[in-house]
């Protein structure tokens, strides 16, 4: 029996400076049975021309490569969905076009998948910043509950990029990104994938390089400026996850609500710091919409040896909101 086909998804928009490095790392993979799906989201620069020039240096990969063109700019979430809808591989691997992967990344992931018949295989990632290169240690999970809860957290642990995932998970459970929500789509999709996966493992080898040196990064914030689009997308993702777990195990629903409230509190602070009155009011209304049984998730004093009482936590929350509201609008 031949080696399984792996579909690598790459959304392309405004990455002229980076896509050559990414494409070279993909076309020089030691693994042969790969389908490359690039989605041109109406990029305004020369990203696709650069990609086609690079592909010309790898004629053996030409028949394995598809470039899908959107008729209008729809965002990275829609680009991921477009690619997922046409992928033919047994496994999916997603790579951002400003990042790159180790030349044996796909082979390493496939070998481990075949050895243990896994639904999801995760590799290690290095984060590259102007200051330093840092290993982001992705853990092994002893059970599904650990993994699902970790996927909800606001960390890099929910990344799609450094994983090999069975395509049947996406198809059998209709898992797609939420179009228009272009930051947080990894969290939304990986939470569902982890919930439905029956087997998973993490390998110790670094396979993925995450580039955080773009000045025009979608997630960039500086000084008192805030990325309102990112905040709105992260909030939308939190609501998607809480709604997903509404009719499922209570442990997941409770955690989803706690994480959503923590996110909203963070965004309240950011909005107040940037004196963004409109965003502040929006976040405040979102917080008021949650059942108060979940409010103790915010403003806990971590120095306490025991969890404070619910009334104490509610009081702390009300005090915080009152002070922020007074300072913000005075």
Residues 35 and 181 in one domain: yes
Tens-level pLDDT at each residue, the chain (330 residues): 689 999 999 999 999 999 999 999 999 999 999 999 999 999 999 999 999 999 999 999 999 999 999 999 999 999 999 999 999 999 999 999 999 999 999 999 999 999 999 999 999 999 999 999 999 999 999 999 999 999 999 888 999 999 999 999 999 999 999 999 988 889 999 999 999 999 999 999 999 999 987 665 544 444 445 789 999 999 999 999 999 999 999 999 999 998 998 888 888 888 878 888 888 889 888 887 887 777 666 554 343 334 344 454 455 555 566 555 555 544
Q: Both 149 and 272 in a single domain?
A: no
Residue 310 lies in domain? 228-329
Helix (H/G/I), strand (E/B), else coil: 131: coil
Is the same domain home to 183 and 47?
A: yes
The residue with tokens 């496994």 is 91
- Nearest one of 197, 178, 208, 155 to 26, comparing CA atoms: 208
Q: Residue 98: inside a domain, yes or no?
A: yes
Q: Which two tokens stand for residue 225?
A: 């400026």
Closest CA to 264 of 290, 301, 302: 290
- Both 273 and 124 in one domain: the answer is no
Is residue 217 in a domain?
no
On whether both 168 and 258 belong to a single domain, the answer is: no
Say whether both 188 and 47 belong to one domain: yes
Q: CB count, 10 Å around CB of 281?
A: 14
The answer as to whether 247 is a domain residue is: yes
| Cβ-contact 237, 244 below 8 angstroms | no
Which residues pair with residue 201 across a beta bridge?
A: 121
Residue that terminates a domain, selected from 186, 211, 236: 211
Domain count, the chain: 2
Q: Are residues 168 and 281 in the same domain?
A: no
Q: Where are the alpha helices (DSSP H) in 213-249?
A: 228-244
- Residue 140 is given by DSSP the state P
CB 329 within 8 A of CB 277: yes
Q: How far apart are CA 197 and CA 192, in angstroms?
A: 9
CA-wise closest residue to 235 among 227, 247, 225: 227
pTM, to two decimals: 0.87
- pLDDT at residue 108, as a whole number: 98
- In this structure, is residue 1 part of a structural domain? no
DSSP 290: S
pLDDT at residue 304, rounded to an integer:
32
Q: How far apart are CA 98 and CA 108, in angstroms?
A: 22
What is each CA distance from 130 to 50, 59, 138, 213, in whole angstroms? 25, 35, 22, 6
My answer on whether 132 and 254 are in the same domain is no
> Alpha-carbon distance 8 to 38, whole Å?
8
Do residues 194 and 55 share a domain? Answer: yes
Sole residue written with tokens 């700019």: 73
With respect to residue 303, please indicate whether it lies within any of the assigned structural domains: yes
Q: Is the Cβ–Cβ distance between 2 and 33 less than 8 Å?
A: yes
Whether 239 contacts 251, CB under 8 Å: no
Residues 202 and 236 in one domain: no
Same domain, 156 and 36: yes
Q: Is the dihedral of CA 285, 290, 293, 296 positive or negative?
A: negative
CATH of the domain at 48: 3.90.550.10
The span from the CA of 100 to the CA of 161, in Å, is 10
CB atoms within 10 A of CB 185: 26
Q: How far apart are CA 246 and CA 193, in angstroms?
A: 17
Q: Domain check: are 154 and 240 in the same one?
A: no
**Residue 33 resides in a domain:** yes
Q: Is residue 40 part of a domain?
A: yes
Q: Can you point out the beta strands (E) in 51-136?
A: 65-69, 91-94, 100-101, 120-128, 133-136
Which residue among 211, 240, 272 closes a domain? 211
pLDDT at position 300 is: 40
């Amino acid at each position: 029996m031949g080696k399984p086909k792996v579909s690598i998804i790459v959304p392309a928009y405004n990455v002229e400076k980076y896509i050559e490095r990414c494409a070279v790392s993909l076309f020089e993979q030691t693994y042969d049975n790969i389908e490359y799906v690039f989605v041109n989201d109406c990029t305004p620069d020369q990203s696709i021309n650069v990609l086609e020039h690079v592909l010309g240096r790898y004629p053996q990969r030409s028949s394995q490569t598809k470039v899908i063109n959107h008729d209008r700019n729809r965002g990275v979430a829609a680009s991921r969905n477009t690619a997922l809808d046409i992928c033919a591989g047994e496994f999916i691997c997603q790579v951002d076009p400003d990042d790159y992967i180790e030349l044996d990344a796909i082979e390493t992931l496939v070998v481990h998948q075949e050895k243990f018949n896994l639904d999801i295989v995760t590799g290690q990632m290095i984060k590259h910043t102007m200051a330093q290169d840092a290993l982001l240690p992705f853990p092994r999970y002893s059970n599904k509950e650990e993994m699902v809860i970790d996927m909800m957290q606001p960390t890099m642990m929910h990344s799609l990029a450094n994983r090999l995932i069975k395509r049947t998970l996406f198809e059998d459970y209709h898992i797609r990104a939420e179009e228009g929500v272009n930051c947080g789509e990894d969290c939304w999709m990986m939470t569902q994938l982890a919930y439905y996966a029956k087997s998973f493992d993490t390998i110790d080898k670094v396979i993925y390089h995450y580039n955080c040196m773009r000045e025009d990064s979608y997630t960039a914030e500086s000084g008192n400026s805030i990325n309102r689009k990112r905040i709105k997308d992260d909030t939308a993702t939190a609501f998607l996850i809480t709604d997903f777990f509404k009719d499922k195990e209570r442990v997941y629903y409770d955690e989803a609500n706690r994480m959503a409230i923590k996110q909203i509190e963070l965004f309240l602070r950011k909005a107040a710091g940037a004196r963004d009155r409109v965003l502040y009011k929006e976040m405040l209304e979102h917080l008021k919409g949650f059942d108060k049984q979940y409010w103790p998730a915010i403003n806990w004093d971590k120095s306490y040896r025991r969890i404070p009482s619910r009334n104490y936590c509610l009081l702390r929350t009300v005090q915080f909101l009152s002070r922020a509201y007074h300072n913000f609008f005075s």
